[in-house]
Amino acid sequence: MHRSAYIFLLLTTLLWGGNSVAGKLAVDHVSPMTLVFLRWVLAVAILLPIGWRTIQEDWPVVRRHWFVLAALGASGFTLFNTIFYTALNYTTAINVSIEQAAMPVLIIVANFIFFRLRVSWAQIAGVVLTIFGVVLTACHGDPRRLLALQLNFGDAIMLVAVVLYSGYSVGLRMKPVMRWQSLMLSLAVAALITSLPFFLWEVAAGKVIVPDARGWTVIVYTAIGASAISQITYIRGNELIGANRAGLFINLVPIFGTLLSVLIVGETFQLYQALALVLVLGGIALAEYSGRKTAILNRPRVPNRPA
């Protein structure tokens, strides 16, 4: 079971790493709110024929749990991406990478506060190792660069996005039992509806950048890869091993983002990037080894039946 989860989560973070590159490529080629809105228009168009039949059958469940589905779609799909793309217009990818490293920590804390899920010292050590890997990537192998970082508006709103996605990850525990086609279509429709006001505001404010060829390429990628496919695989990975363990994989996003920048943008692969990848993967492996044992302890115990 956990091996399937690893495949799902590795694919998720690879696609999200591509989303980070796409977010930077989108600057000046499509405006942030327009990107988010058109991304979900296209994603819904893709998911509609896939989930139309199942959502009709699951409609009683959707209607009964509409608020939870709307909250998940708004926080994890719309608000996070709206803030993420906006932040990249004001701050650097380095800052955003470091700030996203806080997600696994917030997920663990929230799960303990709300659900009393325990973590081991090995899991904590794994989280710390992955954070070191992210910081090493972000500072390009030179820790002195961190002293030169300047926080700005983009960093402030990115921290809000980090909290929102951490809440989304924890909130997946409360999603109703339904087929994945119905779930994804419901969340995508919720994201489309909640992204519309942001798009209309951008139009009214005269800040729309109509997508050009590069802008449309980014929209297509984010709709198919970073929206439809990656969200399905993240939700499935979350189901298999839980939010605490799945959330740790998020720290692979800046690593994959850096490696994709080497491939797509033509940056040079550096030794520190290889070391960072080893640290993050090593941290995940350490946390997972302990996490599987902790998951057993967290299971509710079934009392023995009387003979």
For 49-80, what is each residue's pLDDT tens digit? Answer: 999 999 999 999 999 999 999 999 999 999 99
Q: Amino acid identity, residue 59?
A: W
Indicate whether 129 belongs to any domain: yes
**pLDDT of the residue at 185:** 94
**pLDDT at residue 112 in the model:** 83
User: What is the model's pLDDT at position 303?
Assistant: 44
Q: How many domains does the chain have?
A: 1
Q: Which helix (H) or strand (E) holds 34?
A: helix 32-57
Residue 288 included in any domain: yes
Round to whole Å and give the CA distance between 23 and 15.
12
Average pLDDT of the chain, as a whole number: 84
Task: Please give the Cα distance from 69 to 180 (Å, whole number).
Answer: 13
Structure tokens at 159: 């921290």
Residue 143 C-beta-side C-alpha neighbours within 13 Å: 3
What distances in angstroms separate CA 297 from CA 96, 116, 118, 120, 291, one per listed residue? 35, 12, 8, 11, 10
Look at residue 163 and tell me if it is in a domain: yes
Range of the domain at 53: 2-297
Map tokens 């023995």 to a residue: 304
Measured CA to CA in angstroms, residue 262 lies from 17, 136, 165, 266 at distances of 12, 16, 27, 5
**Residue 44: pLDDT above 80?**
yes
CB neighbour list of residue 158: distance below 8 Å, 6 or more residues apart: 83, 84, 87, 91, 95, 96, 99, 100
Residues 125-172 pLDDT 10s: 888 888 887 777 777 677 777 676 666 778 888 889 989 999 998 998
302 is a domain residue = no
Ranking 57-71, 185-199, 201-215, 268-282 by mean pLDDT, the lowest is 268-282
Please, which pLDDT band fits residue 305 given cuts at 50, 70 and 90?
very low
| Helix, strand, coil tally for the chain in percent (to 5) | 80, 0, 20
Q: What is the DSSP string of 129-172?
A: HHHHHHHHHHTTT-GGGGGG----HHHHHHHHHHHHHHHHHHHG
Q: Quick check: is 303 in a domain? A: no
- Altogether, the residues listed in the chain come to a count of 307
pLDDT band at 296 (very low <50, low <70, confident <90, very high): low
Question: CA 264 from chain center: how many Å?
Answer: 21
Q: How large is the C-alpha radius of gyration of the chain?
A: 20
Residue 193 lies in a domain: yes
- Residue 183 falls inside a structural domain: yes
Q: SS3 for 140?
A: coil
Q: Would you state the pLDDT for residue 265?
A: 67
Task: Give the end-to-end CA distance of the chain in Å, rounded to a whole number.
Answer: 33
Q: What average pLDDT does the segment 241-253 reach?
A: 83
Across 83-97, 171-185, 289-303, the highest mean pLDDT is recorded for 171-185
This prediction has a pTM of 0.79
Q: Which whole number is the average pLDDT over 98-119?
A: 80
**Does 305 fall in a domain?**
no
Q: Minimal CA–CA distance to 251: which of 283, 207, 290, 226?
A: 283
